[in-house]
Amino acid sequence: MEYIGKVYRPPSEWRSLIVQATVGCSNNTCTFCSMYKDDYFYVKDEEKLFKELEEESKNFNGYRRAFIGDGDGLCLSKERIIRLNKKIKELFPYIERIGIYSTAKDVNKKSLEELKEIKESGIEIVYMGVETGSDLLLKKIKRTENRESFLKAAKKLHAANIKQSLTLITGLGENKNILEYAKDTGDLISEMNPEYLSFLALTLEPGSELYEKYMQGKFYLQNPKESLEEIYYFLSFYKGKGPTIFRSNHASNYLSLKGQIPEDVEKLKKQIENAIMNNNYRPEYLRGL
């Protein structure tokens, strides 16, 4: 496969066939993100992409999973996604699941019937960055979405029987109003009720707007205790039905948490309490993307 620029995928897709159907991110305005700042967004030529897949299948066709990137593969038309899924399954006969990055905006642009057809063609899971449930913070970080759009997208994905894997980020609100933001996020995720949920701790890299503000002393980066407290408060406000597989095992986090919510909420909170009490955090040199 020919990959343009840096290619990102969810941690759980580390053994998957990575199909770069688009380059960059069609949104690319988020102040915390530097992932696609060096790339201008475009859709790869379909014929060329199919030839790349054919060549890859000659090297190895035993993949069990495939993942469609870059930043928001679901921005492709229904027809384009279905043709791509068909080609993937044709060339890689052992594929059991196809995942894709998306924004709420891309989900909401498609009708329920279109999403059902996309599901039928092989898309089993959509990965979506929610980041926070606070409309105030979403606007501040220049997301083009809000609570209402996330809820609408979640309902459509549930109706289409497509699983959701959502990510949240601690630290976007600095050390201000953490309780308020955690409540907003807990309330939103409770209503969205995803199958999978993971936390990341904010990591600033050159190229992002927040990194520049941080270097100028205009943005406060949470310490380990504050980051874990934000997760703790989120769990306290979470009232979802579940079951939701919960993780904070991304390398950016100060503590690796694994469980299923709501049943493991108290156990997870206890682990956070113990880490804070014993000052037991992942060392900075082990944190990274």
Structure tokens at 201: 């701790």
**CA–CA gap between residue 166 and residue 197 (Å, rounded):** 5
Residue 254 makes CB contacts below 8 A (sequence gap 6+) with 201, 224, 227, 228, 275, 281, 282, 287
Residue bearing the bigger pLDDT, 4 or 277: 277
41: confidence class by pLDDT, cuts 50, 70, 90: confident
82: confidence class by pLDDT, cuts 50, 70, 90: very high
Q: Taking the mean position of all CA atoms in its chain, how far away is CA 255?
A: 19
Average pLDDT over residues 178-205: 96
CATH number of 11-286: 3.20.20.70
Output the average pLDDT for the chain. Answer: 94
Structure tokens at 252: 């950016």
pLDDT for res 251: 86
Structure tokens at 110: 């498609």
Q: Are strands 244-247 and 258-261 parallel, antiparallel or unpaired?
A: antiparallel
Residue bearing the bigger pLDDT, 11 or 186: 186
pLDDT at 229 over 90: yes
pLDDT above 70: percentage of residues in the chain:
98
pLDDT for res 285: 78
At 34, phi and psi to the nearest 5?
A: -120, 5
Q: Which of 157-166, 217-226, 247-256 is the least confident region? A: 247-256
Query: Residue 200, exposed/middle/buried by CB under 10 A (0-12, 13-18, 19+)?
Result: buried
pLDDT for res 83: 98
pLDDT at 283 over 70: yes
Is 222:230 a contact under the CB 8 Å cutoff?
yes
Three-state secondary structure along 62-113? CCCEEEEECCCHHHCCHHHHHHHHHHHHHHCCCCCEEEEEECHHHHHHCCHH
Other CB atoms within 10 A of residue 77 CB: 12
39: confidence class by pLDDT, cuts 50, 70, 90: low
CA dihedral sign of residues 65, 68, 70, 74: negative
Residue 120 makes CB contacts below 8 A (sequence gap 6+) with none
One-letter amino acid for residue 106 of the chain:
D
38: confidence class by pLDDT, cuts 50, 70, 90: low
pLDDT at 36 over 80: no
At which residue do the structure tokens 């907003």 appear?
184
Please state the domain extents for the chain. 11-286
Terminal Cα-to-Cα distance of the chain (whole angstroms): 23
Structure tokens at 66: 């495939």
Residue 178 makes CB contacts below 8 A (sequence gap 6+) with 226, 229, 230, 233
Average pLDDT over residues 274-286: 91
249: confidence class by pLDDT, cuts 50, 70, 90: confident
pLDDT for res 37: 62
pLDDT for res 145: 94
Running DSSP on this structure, what letter comes out for residue 242?
-
Read off the pLDDT of residues 121-172 as tens digits, 9 standing for 90 and up. Answer: 999 999 999 999 999 999 999 998 999 999 999 999 999 999 999 999 999 9
Q: Taking the mean position of all CA atoms in its chain, how far away is CA 42?
A: 20
**CA–CA gap between residue 27 and residue 29 (Å, rounded):** 6
Residue bearing the bigger pLDDT, 4 or 17: 17
pLDDT for res 32: 85
Residue 13 makes CB contacts below 8 A (sequence gap 6+) with 65, 67, 99
Q: Taking the mean position of all CA atoms in its chain, how far away is CA 27?
A: 14
